[in-house]
Amino acid sequence: MKLYESLAAEVEGQVARGVLLEGERLPSVRQASQRRKLSISTVLRAYSLLESRGVIESRPQSGFFVRARPRVSPRAAEPAPALTLSSEVDVSRLVLSTLRTIRTQGAAPLGSPYPDPAAFPAARISRYANAIARSRPVSVLDDLPPGNPQLIRQIARRYMEHGVAVDPAEIIVTVGATEAINLCLQAVAGPGDTVAVESPTFYAMLHAIERMGMRALEVPTDRRTGIDVDALRTILASQRVAAVMVMPNFQNPLGFLMPDGRKRELVALLAEHGIPAIENCVYDELYYGDSHPCPLKTWDTRGLVLHCASFSKSLTSNYRIGWALAGRYAAQVEKLKFLNTLSTPSLPQLAIADYLQHDGFDRHLRQVRKGYAQRARMMAAAVLRFFPAGTRVSEPQGGYVLWVELAGGVDAMRLYARALEHGITVGPGHMFSARGSWTHCIRLNYSYPWTQATEAALKTLGRLVAELA
């Protein structure tokens, strides 16, 4: 390859990979010549070749720019290749592929795990952050674990208002709930240990277990009442379990609210065996009923419940602020926080603390809950209307996801691939099990405003399920 061809190929590759964006100015001929140690004529030939290919364009008196490419509608775009899964499902790989597809395909975000960011008061929180940055000196020491005292006090007050007495000294602020879950798991279990989880379970739990070289043991879980405590009791009688990971309130993906009686029974069973419970409560503020649900932590008298939560699903996803109430393991989790990520940035902590103290968090939550509850009913009705007979849907009591069991034994990965061809994403059930269960199920997100496009997407999905059945 000649020098000018090599330079042209390199620039074209940078455009294809998104390093150089449409409308962006290329280095001038003289700059490129000096930086590359090439002659001006070589650079000119390379740019002329790129111009002939339609990659760049010259503008008089301005230079060379990346040329705008013709727009292709998401429906007509080439879909991302579907993953071929082995018998041992690589959950993290599948999740990453699904998230990339949602981002790059411009598809209907029914498969997204994230809430609609338009529902968050992002501008208000940003104003608090900007005011803090202008008026208050923020010390590096404020970032150190356990976290900013002002935010910790506000978090403790939220629990007090909901009737849950917590010790502020237990609270460790983290970079989102995912870090809280990882730190708590690392504090109570090690490589090779067995961790019991719900089935289906939220894939972040499986990621944590996979990353630390542990083994997930899936426990039968009822779609209305949660993990089968009797089945777990039988398991604990016959094998060693290092920890149990659960989402008792509005579990992702089933959306159930575990009855208080079953929560007490679970906490008592684990206390009997001295086994810690890691509870993920990121959706607790998104309840549809009249009162805030009780976490397992309510009945924890021995410090065995490690409670994890965040503001990412209820207030803002821009600032990944979460926390852990780690019970008897608080000192260990705080130490692991320091060793793993050193600290959580203080400016987001202070901005959220100011919002919680001075603004209308509860008013915001009431609006969000009302919208989610309404869309949950609308999406469930649309699925039952458009999908084949025999389709079953969950009955979420909070959160923003619907679990759909497909009729006719339809494989969710085949539906996932076909849906992408029509600009629609879904969350295939394969993501919610490490052993390849729930292959006939999908998870749908209903946090976004209900539109004609949403209804059309569900109608198309129903037709595809019928064709695959």
Can you give the pLDDT at residue 74? Answer: 37
* 378 burial level (CB within 10 Å; 0-12, 13-18, 19+): middle
What single string gives the DSSP state of each residue in 176-189?
A: HHHHHHHHHHHHH-
pLDDT over 90 (residue 209): yes
The stretch 7-36 carries a mean pLDDT of 87
Amino acid at 220: P
Amino acid at 3: L
| 76-135 residue pLDDT tens | 333 333 333 323 336 777 777 777 776 655 568 899 889 999 999 999 999 999 999 888
Nearest residue to 53 via CA among 114, 100, 116, 9: 9
pLDDT over 60 (residue 12): yes
In which region does residue 162 sit, left (phi positive, over 0), alpha (psi from -120 to 50) or beta (all else)? alpha
Per-residue pLDDT band for 71 (boundaries 50, 70, 90) equals very low
Give bridge partners of residue 301 from the DSSP assignment. Answer: none
Cα–Cα distance measured from residue 51 to residue 179, given in angstroms and rounded to the nearest whole number = 48
Cα–Cα distance measured from residue 377 to residue 396, given in angstroms and rounded to the nearest whole number = 9
Can you give the pLDDT at residue 302? Answer: 95
Percent of the chain beyond pLDDT 90?
68
pLDDT over 90 (residue 75): no
The stretch 163-176 carries a mean pLDDT of 92
Q: Which residues does 335 contact at the CB level (< 8 Å), separation at least 6?
A: none
Cα–Cα–Cα angle for 436, 439, 444, rounded to 5 degrees:
120
User: Among positive and negative, which fits the CA dihedral 61, 65, 67, 68?
Assistant: negative
Nearest residue to 252 via CA among 197, 297, 304: 197
The stretch 40-59 carries a mean pLDDT of 89
Model-wide pTM > 0.85: no
The stretch 132-141 carries a mean pLDDT of 77
Can you give the pLDDT at residue 244? Answer: 98
The stretch 129-157 carries a mean pLDDT of 86
* Helix-helix angle 260-273:229-238, to 10 degrees: 10
| 314-342 residue pLDDT tens | 999 888 999 999 999 999 999 999 998 88
Which one of 137-146, 158-167, 229-238 scores highest in mean pLDDT? Answer: 229-238
Amino acid at 106: G
Q: Which residues does 4 contact at the CB level (< 8 Å), separation at least 6?
A: 42, 43, 45, 46, 49
Amino acid at 135: S
Instruction: Tell me if 428 sits within 8 A of 442, measured CB to CB.
Output: yes
| 345-386 residue pLDDT tens | 889 999 999 999 998 899 999 999 999 999 999 999 999 999
Cα–Cα–Cα angle for 129, 366, 124, rounded to 5 degrees:
15
